Amino acid sequence: MEYPKVKKDNKFMEIVRGIRFKKYLEEEAEKERNKLAESSEESKRNKKEQTTSEKLQEKLEPLSLCPMSDE
């Protein structure tokens, strides 16, 4: 009657593997969330810097109101 015992061990191992896999997926999801948050923050910083740079560029070289004008 060892067959049922082996069957129970297999179910237990399946549960353990499932728990480990779930933990792995949660860790990977957390890593991905962190990467996305970091990327979003970097994007916001770059946009802010770019906006400042564009403002400075406009002060240095203002665009004419009418590009086809002779003035």
Helices (H), 1-71: 3-60
Q: What is the pLDDT of residue 16?
A: 86
Angle at 32 between CA 30 and CA 34, to 5 degrees: 70
Which one is predicted more confidently, 2 or 23?
23
Rounded-to-integer distance, Cα 20 and Cα 32, Å: 18
Per residue in 23-56, pLDDT (tens digit) is 999 999 999 999 999 999 998 888 777 777 777 7
In the block, residue with structure tokens 């890593």: 31
Per residue in 55-70, pLDDT (tens digit) is 777 777 766 666 665 5
Q: What is the pLDDT of residue 1?
A: 42
